[in-house]
Amino acid sequence: MTDPVTILGTVAGVASLAIQLTQILHDYCKGVSDSGSDVQGLLADTQQLSQVLTKLEDLVRNDSLKLSQSFTTTTTLYLANVRCGARLRSLLADLKKHSQGSQARQALKALKWPFKTRETRNISAELHGYTQTFQFALTLDGCEILLKTSGDVSKILQNSLRSATITEESAENIGLILTIVTPLPEVTLAIQEDVKILIDENILKWLGATDTSAKHQTVKRRRSPNTGQWIFQDKCYKQWENDVSPVLWAQGKPGAGKSTLMSCIVDKLKADAGRGEGVASFYCDYSQTSDVQTPEAILASFSYQLLRRLDSIPVEVDSIYHRHRRENTRPDLNEHVEILKHISTAFSKVWLLIDALDEFDPDCRDDLARVIETLMTFTKVLVTSRPQSIDSENLEGHTLRCTISAQDEDLKVFIESRMATASRGIRESPGWNVFVSDAQEKLVTLADGMFILVSLQLDMLLRLHTVTEMRRALETIPDKLDDFYKITLDRIRAGKSDKPLKILAWLVTSRLPITVGALREALAVEDSTTFIDPNAMIPEDDIVPMCCGLVLIHVDSYTGARKLSLAHATVHEYLSKNLEMVHGFDRIIAKACVRFLDLLDSSTKRELDFDRHPFFFYAILISNSSKCDIGRFVPPVKLRAKLLSDGAHLKTNRGTPFCAGPEVVIQQPRFCTNPGGD
């Protein structure tokens, strides 16, 4: 047992040291106009430590927890006080020797801070650890734990750290306490690593970005082997690569293969980059919603990809993260730039690539141009787009330009690889090889630098069943994109089902991305439908053929769901002007959503299982895009009546508030960020 006076003296002595250090730091910050954020942070940590120690002193003085009966020199709380006191004395000695003399106050104002930036941050972290330890001691359970030996405390807290339900804040605090109270370096390192992994993963999640590698792989799969190599011999590309200019703007007409070439450049840069270089890319996509494609989203994606290559999160990024976590806020555009800049300092060189800028939200392009102006001061930037001007004199003056166009040799390789997918019977026909050679020559001549045109021409030829049919079709094959789309649309119109036209109209009109499962369920809902019938749904394998190749099924790079989209931005542009069904189809979409919800409402007594109905979440967002808090759904009775009437009209990108109606409890969807996820 320890004398109560000794206990009080120990705690009071440490509290006095903390108060002295606080005063010196306060005088320093007051006397030096630009004391720096790190010193200001140290002052805040010291003030907090002083306050907690004062509370602990009061607790000991009152002896309400009977500390005198258990506060021995072997307890963790005693050892923490002794170590904290020794550290404070050391800091005071270092600071006081810089402020001695007859004019101490004047000298203090001109004092050069004796610690380097990293040292100051380490001191702050150390004092913060002591603060958390003593704060923990102020609770009844915490005090009981810290009155045990350090070995026992370490076991108790490490078990808490491994709990599956522990929050990041609790894990971080326990990690700090364990660092203070655990005497064994190897144990301390293991604890710090566990906490670091948890916090680092949370920082990556906090950025709000998803790695775009899925999108990159989708584009890469469309690339024929050994194509695109011409870009690496291009004069402008070489100048950009060799630091003649920080920005390369590669422009090409629609369908020239810009995205495919971008994937080629990304792979080459990553293959050539040493450990000290970072490469990050972002593929803009016209079919994505505007909240996914913002300057902030692009910067967050870059930061996410680069952080994945680092062994640890830069301390500056960690600091920004914790500040926002405390304030429950998100970084703005300037802070995203700051975060990326801090991350870039960890690399010898950083390459940032943005594909299809023309598919980026037009309302945000000026902001993105200003961001690129900043990025070019500390990274290398490559942008691809359709031909367009740069509305920035500063950016224009630091930008090299090159033209992207499908090269003849690449087109020949592409044609040959596609022809190799023809049926074995056709490939064994006597005239096959001659036909392939003739097709290569003609299609390359007609290509006009566009892969998309050649791809569509090959789709048409490969749907035929004999070499004779193919040769006849080759003689009259369309040589303009619009002509090709017209023929394809006419062929779809001539079919017996209107489902393909509805699919196309849905993809053109809808302002939200939709997955395969969601659209299949949506198309099964008609005015006469009395229940949701799985047998009325189009088989997934039939969707692409029935739309004659104008749609694609691919894995969404942001959600991981199987998404349905138009095959190319040019398809969207053509159908927007030439598909009559598009006009007013937003109302048809809205009616389908409300009808679907109506059917669920009438057929479901209690729970709605989202996994069984992939169209459900999409329908919720369309019917009520301003209220997406999934938890309780109020069926829109008045809205339902209004939409199902002949004269009503609802734009799908606006949404309508829910109206009163019976409540239905629903299950939380698996992909909350994915409309219509399946």
d(CA 70, CA 65): 10
524 found inside a domain: yes
Residues 437 and 524 in one domain: no
Residues 589 and 528 in one domain: yes
d(CA 366, CA 379): 19
Residues 360 and 442 in one domain: no
Note the helical H segments in 383-528.
393-397, 408-419, 424-427, 432-446, 451-462, 467-475, 481-493, 499-509, 516-523
* pLDDT of the residue at 475: 94
* pLDDT of the residue at 72: 60
Which carries the bigger pLDDT value, residue 577 or residue 146? Answer: 577
* pLDDT of the residue at 90: 86
Which carries the bigger pLDDT value, residue 80 or residue 643? Answer: 80
Residue where a domain terminates, one of 424, 452, 479: 479
179 found inside a domain: no
* pLDDT of the residue at 503: 92
- pLDDT over 90 (residue 580): no
620 found inside a domain: yes
* pLDDT of the residue at 663: 33
Residue 101 region by backbone torsions, left for phi larger than 0, else alpha for psi between -120 and 50, else beta: left
Residues 333 and 474 in one domain: no
161 found inside a domain: no
Q: Which of 190-194, 417-421, 566-570, 590-594 has the lowest mean pLDDT?
A: 190-194
Could you tell me what percent of the chain has a pLDDT over 70?
Answer: 72
pLDDT in tens, 70-90: 556 667 777 777 888 888 888
Averaged confidence pLDDT in the chain: 77
Global pTM value: 0.65
Residues 521 and 660 in one domain: yes
Q: How many CB atoms lie within 10 A of CB 13?
A: 17
- pLDDT over 90 (residue 161): no
- pLDDT over 50 (residue 635): no
180-199: b (≥16 Cβ within 10 Å) or e: bbbeeeebbeebeebbeebb
Range of the domain at 540: 493-666
Inter-CA distances, 520 with 206, 506, 540, 592, 652, Å: 34, 11, 8, 12, 19
Q: What CATH number does the domain containing 284 carry?
A: 3.40.50.300
Which carries the bigger pLDDT value, residue 63 or residue 123? Answer: 123
Note the helical H segments in 116-244.
117-137, 140-146, 150-161, 168-181, 185-206, 213-221, 235-241
Q: How confident is the model at residue 501 (pLDDT cuts 50, 70, 90)?
A: very high
pLDDT in tens, 8-18: 677 788 888 88
* pLDDT of the residue at 592: 83
201 found inside a domain: no
Burial of 418 from C-beta contacts in 10 A (0-12 / 13-18 / 19+):
buried
Q: How confident is the model at residue 342 (pLDDT cuts 50, 70, 90)?
A: very high
Q: Which of 48-52, 533-537, 598-602 has the lowest mean pLDDT?
A: 598-602
Residues 420 and 462 in one domain: yes
* pLDDT of the residue at 196: 56
Which carries the bigger pLDDT value, residue 58 or residue 307? Answer: 307
Q: Which of 112-116, 158-162, 599-603 has the lowest mean pLDDT?
A: 158-162
Residues 412 and 394 in one domain: no
pLDDT in tens, 198-226: 566 777 778 877 667 778 888 888 888 88
Q: Give the residue-averaged pLDDT of 447-460.
A: 91
Residue with tokens 């299982």: 609
93 found inside a domain: yes
pLDDT in tens, 427-437: 999 999 999 99
- pLDDT over 50 (residue 42): yes
Residues 501 and 601 in one domain: yes
Q: Give the residue-averaged pLDDT of 330-343.
A: 93
pLDDT in tens, 382-404: 999 998 766 667 787 889 999 99
Which carries the bigger pLDDT value, residue 516 or residue 598? Answer: 516
d(CA 536, CA 154): 62
Q: How many domains does the chain have?
A: 4
Residues 397 and 475 in one domain: no
* pLDDT of the residue at 112: 64
158 found inside a domain: no
166 found inside a domain: no
Residue where a domain terminates, one of 385, 403, 421: 403
Residues 358 and 468 in one domain: no
Residues 117 and 235 in one domain: no
* pLDDT of the residue at 621: 75
Residues 370 and 437 in one domain: no
Residue where a domain terminates, one of 102, 132, 148: 148
